[in-house]
C-alpha cells in the first residue's frame, strides 16, 4: 500500500495542496542571491524629494534630477532602529520636502541631520517611525572585499521600488579625479545595472551585508557603476553620530576605523574636540581602542550610535591595547546667545563672525543678521571662509545641528 503525504499551502487566500516534490523544486530556486535580497530589503527605503533648483549645479553634476519639475528620486538604507537613514547627498540636495517609502509601503517624512557633498553622503531622520518598522541594515566588516565576488545593488531606479540587480565587484580602490587631482582612491566599481534612482541604495555582498553605497555611473558606459566604500561611510558617520549633535551634551571624541594591509581592523580615536571632557581626560587623536564600556569593539556604527545617546553626567570607559581603562564623564552644555559662536568653534571647529553693516558693505552683501564663516568646520570641506550662514537645521539647538545652507562669498579674507 502506497502512502502519499500532501502539504497544505495558503496562496492568495486559496488553500493549495502541494506535493513534497513541488516544495523541493521551489527550494532549489532559493539561491544565495534570493536569500541575501530577502535579508536586506526590509532595511532599504525609496526616497522622493521636492527641492529648489540650483541652476549652477543641476544637469551635469546631478544627472538624475528632473529639471522640469524639481523632483528627484533616490534610495537609502536604515542604519538604526531610531529611524536614521543613509543616502547620497545629491539626492537630497536643496530638498524642501523628503518622503521616504519603506519596504512595506509605509510613508514617512524625513529631515536632513547632516550632509557632506564632497563625499556625497547624507544622514536623514524619519519622523515618528517605530523601532519595529526600522530594522537596521547589516554591515560587513569595513574593507572586507573580494575582487570578483557577487554583489547586489538594491534601490529605486526610475521609481520602480525594491529593485535589485546582480553583478560582480569589478574594481577596488578606483580613483576619482577632479581638476587633475585625485580626490578619492577607494571607490568601488561594479557591473551591476545602476540607473537613475539607485543612488543612495546599498551595495551588498552575497551574505546580505552592506559593503558600500551606490553613487554614480559613467555616462554612455554600460556596466560601469561606482559605490562609496563602507569604511569611508562609517568614518564620516562617526563625525555625525555624536551627543553634541543630538543633544546639549559634550563628550568630545570621534572614533574611527581602518583596515590594515594584513586584514586587521583597527579602531582608534580619529579626533578630539578642544576643551572637551575627552580632552580633559587625556584622550588624544590616534589612540587605539579595543573596548567600550568593557565590551569589545567590532562595529564602528554601533559604537557611534551608542555614543550619540550618552547623557550628561554619564561616565563611559575606553580600553586601549595596554588594558588600562580610560574614563570620560559627559558634561551638559549651556548655550546662550552670548557664547554661541564660541561654543560652535569649540564643539564643531566652526568659527563664526556676526554680520555688521560695515562688514556687509565691505563684502557686498545686503544688510542681514546672518553669520559669516571665518573658520570652516573640518567635517564640511565644501564650506569656505567668507561664506554666509543663513540657516541652521534646528535653531533651538544650534550650533550642534547641520549647516543646511551657505552662500558662497566673494572670498574676502576675514
Ramachandran class of 247: left when φ > 0, alpha when ψ lies in -120 to 50, beta otherwise: beta
Residue 337 has pLDDT above 60, yes or no: no
For the question of residue 75 being annotated catalytic, the response is: no
| Residue 132 scores a pLDDT above 90 | yes
Range with the poorest average pLDDT among 219-228, 299-308, 403-412: 403-412
Low-confidence winner among 55-59, 117-121, 291-295, 360-364 (lowest mean pLDDT): 55-59
Question: For helices 300-308 and 230-240, what crossing angle results, to 10°?
Answer: 10
pLDDT tens digits for range 231-286: 999 999 999 999 988 888 899 999 999 999 888 999 999 999 888 999 999 999 99
Q: DSSP state, 177?
A: E
Catalytic residue among 48, 72, 199, 308: 199
pLDDT of 242 reads 92
What is the pLDDT at residue 161? Answer: 73
DSSP string, 319-355: E-TT---EEEE-EEPP--TTTHHHHHHHHHS-EEEE-
Nearest one of 84, 205, 194, 200 to 139, comparing CA atoms: 205
- Residue 196 has what pLDDT? 74
Main-chain dihedrals φ then ψ at residue 154, nearest 5 degrees: -120, 135
Q: What helix, strand, coil percent values describe the chain, rounded to 5?
A: 20, 40, 45
Parallel, antiparallel, or unpaired for β 331-332 and 351-354? unpaired
Q: What are phi and psi of 145, to 5 degrees?
A: -130, 145
pLDDT in tens, 306-332: 999 999 999 999 999 999 999 999 999
Active site (annotated) includes residue 90: yes
Does position 47 have pLDDT exceeding 60, yes or no?
A: yes
Section 27-37 average pLDDT: 90
The per-residue pLDDT for 14 is 47
Q: Distance between CA 224 and CA 169 in Å, rounded?
A: 10
> What is residue 35's predicted lDDT score, i.e. its pLDDT?
94
Lowest mean pLDDT among 2-16, 184-198, 380-394: 2-16
Contact in structure between 89 and 74 (CB atoms under 8 Å): no
**What value does the mean pLDDT of the chain take?**
80
Question: Taking the CB of residue 97, how many other CB atoms lie within 10 A of it?
Answer: 11
Report the C-alpha gap between 192 and 189 in whole angstroms. 9
Summarised one tens digit per residue, pLDDT across range 66-122 is: 444 456 688 999 999 999 999 998 888 878 889 999 999 999 999 999 988 888 899
pLDDT attached to residue 175 = 84
Q: Dihedral sign, CA of 9, 13, 15, 18? A: negative
CATH of domain 241-332: 2.30.42.10
How many Å is the maximal CA-CA distance in the chain? Answer: 103
Q: Which of 48, 88, 120, 250 is catalytic?
A: 120
- Which range (67-71, 109-113, 301-305, 346-350) has the least confidence? 67-71
- Separation of alpha carbons 26 and 272, rounded Å: 55
The CATH number that domain 32-229 falls under is 2.40.10.120
Instruction: Read off the pLDDT band of 157 (50, 70, 90).
Output: confident
Residue 153 has a pLDDT of 93
| Confidence (pLDDT) at 195 | 78
Higher pLDDT, 363 or 100: 100
Residue-wise pLDDT tens digits, 364-374 = 666 655 677 87
pLDDT value of position 179: 67
Please state, in angstroms and rounded to a whole number, the distance separating the CA atoms of residues 198 and 74: 6
User: Which residue out of 43, 80, 90, 215 is catalytically annotated?
Assistant: 90
- C-alpha dist (Å) from residue 198 to 175, 201, 363: 21, 6, 41
How far CA 330 is from CA of 243, 253, 312, 327, in Å, comes to 9, 11, 5, 10
Domain ranges in the chain? Answer: 32-229, 241-332, 340-407
55 in active site: no
Average pLDDT on 60-66 reads 42
Q: Using 50, 70 and 90 to split pLDDT, how confident is the model at 8?
A: very low
Amino acid at each position: 500500500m502506497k502512502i502519499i503525504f500532501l502539504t497544505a499551502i495558503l496562496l492568495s487566500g486559496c488553500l493549495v495542496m502541494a506535493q513534497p516534490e513541488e516544495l523541493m523544486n521551489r527550494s532549489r530556486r532559493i539561491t544565495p542571491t534570493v536569500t541575501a535580497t530577502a535579508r536586506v530589503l526590509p532595511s532599504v527605503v525609496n526616497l522622493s524629494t521636492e527641492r529648489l533648483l540650483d541652476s549652477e549645479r543641476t544637469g551635469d553634476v546631478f544627472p538624475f534630477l528632473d529639471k522640469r519639475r524639481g523632483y528627484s528620486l533616490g534610495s537609502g538604507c536604515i542604519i538604526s532602529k531610531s529611524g536614521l537613514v543613509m543616502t547620497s547627498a545629491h539626492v537630497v540636495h536643496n530638498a524642501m520636502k523628503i518622503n521616504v517609502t519603506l519596504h512595506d509601503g509605509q510613508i514617512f517624512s524625513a529631515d536632513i541631520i547632516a550632509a557632506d557633498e564632497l563625499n556625497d553622503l547624507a544622514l536623514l531622520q524619519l519622523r515618528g517611525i517605530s523601532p519595529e518598522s526600522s530594522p537596521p541594515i547589516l554591515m560587513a566588516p569595513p574593507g572586507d572585499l573580494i575582487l570578483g565576488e557577487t554583489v547586489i545593488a538594491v534601490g529605486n531606479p526610475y521609481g520602480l521600488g525594491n529593485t535589485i540587480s546582480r553583478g560582480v565587484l569589478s574594481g577596488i580602490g578606483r580613483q576619482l579625479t577632479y581638476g587633475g587631482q585625485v580626490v578619492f582612491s577607494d571607490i568601488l566599481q561594479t557591473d551591476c545595472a545602476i540607473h537613475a534612482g539607485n543612488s543612495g541604495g546599498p551595495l551588498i555582498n552575497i551574505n546580505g551585508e552592506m559593503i558600500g553605497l551606490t553613487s554614480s555611473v559613467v555616462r554612455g558606459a554600460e556596466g560601469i557603476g561606482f559605490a562609496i566604500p563602507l569604511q569611508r561611510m562609517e568614518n564620516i558617520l562617526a563625525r555625525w553620530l555624536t551627543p553634541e549633535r543630538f543633544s546639549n551634551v559634550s563628550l568630545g571624541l570621534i572614533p574611527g576605523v581602518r583596515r590594515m594591509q594584513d586584514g586587521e581592523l583597527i579602531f582608534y580615536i580619529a579626533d578630539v574636540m578642544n576643551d572637551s571632557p575627552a580632552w580633559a581626560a587625556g584622550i588624544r587623536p590616534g589612540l587605539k581602542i579595543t573596548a567600550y564600556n568593557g565590551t569589545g569593539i567590532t562595529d564602528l556604527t554601533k559604537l557611534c550610535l551608542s555614543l550619540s545617546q550618552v547623557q550628561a553626567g554619564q561616565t563611559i570607559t575606553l580600553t586601549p591595547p595596554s588594558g588600562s581603562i580610560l574614563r570620560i564623564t559627559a558634561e551638559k552644555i549651556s548655550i546662550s546667545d552670548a557664547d554661541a559662536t564660541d561654543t560652535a568653534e569649540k564643539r564643531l571647529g566652526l568659527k563664526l563672525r556676526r554680520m555688521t553693516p560695515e562688514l556687509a558693505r565691505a563684502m557686498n552683501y545686503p544688510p542681514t543678521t546672518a553669520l559669516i564663516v571665518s573658520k570652516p568646520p573640518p567635517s564640511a570641506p565644501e564650506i569656505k571662509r567668507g561664506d554666509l550662514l543663513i540657516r541652521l537645521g534646528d535653531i533651538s539647538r544650534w550650533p550642534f545641528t547641520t549647516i543646511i545652507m551657505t552662500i558662497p562669498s566673494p572670498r574676502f579674507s576675514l
